Structure 1
Amino acid sequence: MNSTKSSVSLMFACTASGKMLPPYVVYKAKHLYDSWTEGGPSNTRYNRTDSGWFDSTTFEDWFFKVILPYARSKEGKKIIIGDNLASHVSLAVKSACEDHNISFVLLPPNSTHLTQPLDVSVFGPMKTQWQSLLSEFKATALGRKCAALTKTEFPRQLAKLMEKLQKNQAKIIESGFRKCGI
């Protein structure tokens, strides 16, 4: 809600049956502090990069700590759908997918607004709720003191967002898969 150069990236993963897996947060920072991970949604993973963007290391960590444990709990063939970002191409991830009966499908470039279920139905309502939460936070005494949402406050606001989305989450996720023909 301001023009700071701070950056936080989030990775979300959902199943076609409407389940949202734990979020994965990447801060723009040299170090990751415990206070930046407290009060967030259950099982959320936190990391950091110099840019605040996902790189191949954080992508692999996300895959091995969030996706693979979930996939191992399911029998049969699994499919992961991802965008065509270069950091999503990893030999370690490819090998793990082969070992665990997972196909990793990369969507064609510039097509996620039509072919990626989260882009189609989940992120719009999520962004609306996030803007509302940020406005509410800025109206508090702490929010008026802060030029931007601090990394210490971020997990708590993310937890509020995930709680607000919980009510219709499964229906919204399922509709994204349906609209994409998946």
Structure 2
Amino acid sequence: MRVTAMFSVTLSGKNLPPGIIWKGETTTTFERVGGCLVIQQPKPWVDQDLLLRWLEHTFPTLYDGPGQFLVWDLMRAHIGKRVKAACVKKEVRMYVVPGGLTSYLQADDVGIYKSFKDRMSGLITAGKESDAVTYMRGGNPDPRQSRWLLTGSPLPGRGSQKKLS
């Protein structure tokens, strides 16, 4: 099962709600689940369309005011033509961290992503070992049955589990 997580922080240090992308039927709006913004699409990664929807949802005040800027890594969706055009239209300047330097210049790569991945790996392993997971014909876990990861609901047959915090 592939899941993509998007993390962002403001210049003042405020963490914004994480975005979680599941593989599934396309949903056009973000749903708030367990403090996260959840959306589904056939390929569970960030593309330009999803990034533009996320910007409109997450940054309505920032994105609509002049004199704002965003700092991106060199991911393809971040530097796509439509994202650039939307930022130009909204008078939002873009700064891109050169390839190969992200881990040195973005503390979130170590400080946030690592702790998130460490916590998620235990939950995913527990879920796979429980009877809460159903599998699709190809042998992959059915992502529609994986909402317990974000809600912190107990796994059937396993007692309670820790919530993400």
Q: Tell me the TM-score normalized by structure 2.
A: 0.69
Show the 5 A alignment for 1:159-178. 159-160=151-152, 164-165=164-165
**Relative to 1, partners in 2 of residues 1:38 and 1:17: Cα closer, same or farther, differing over 3 Å?**
closer
Q: Where does residue 115 of structure 2 map in the other structure?
A: 125
2:60 to 38, 60, 69: 69
Between structures 1 and 2, the one with greater helix share: 1
What is residue 69 of structure 2 aligned with on the other side?
79
- Where in structure 1 are there 5+ consecutive unaligned residues? 1-5, 166-182
Q: Compute the displacement of 1:39 (Å).
A: 7.7
Q: 2:48 aligned with 1:44, yes or no?
A: no
TM-score normalised by L of structure 1: 0.63
Residue 59 of structure 1 deviates from its aligned partner by 1.9
Structure 2 regions of 5+ residues with no counterpart?
A: 153-162
Against the structure 1 CA distance between its residues 141 and 164, is the aligned structure 2 distance closer, same or farther, given a 3 Å change threshold?
A: same
C-alpha distance in 2, partners of 1:18/1:150? 36
Q: Tell me how far apart the structure 1 counterparts of residues 9 and 94 of structure 2 sit (CA, whole Å).
A: 14
Amino-acid identity (%): 21
CA contact under 8 A between 1:63 and 1:93: conserved in structure 2? Answer: no
Structure 1 residue 103 displacement after superposition: 2.7
CA deviation after TM superposition for structure 1 residue 101, in Å = 5.3
Query: Given the superposition, is the C-alpha separation of residues 42 and 122 from structure 1 closer, same or farther in structure 2, using an over 3 Å criterion?
Result: closer
Shift of 1:79: 3.2
**Residue 79 of structure 2 is aligned to residue 89 of structure 1:** yes
Cα RMSD, aligned residues only: 3.3
Structure ranking higher on relative contact order (CA contacts 8 Å, 6+ apart): 1
Matching residue within 26, 33, 42 for 1:32 = 26
Residue aligned with 1:137, SS: helix
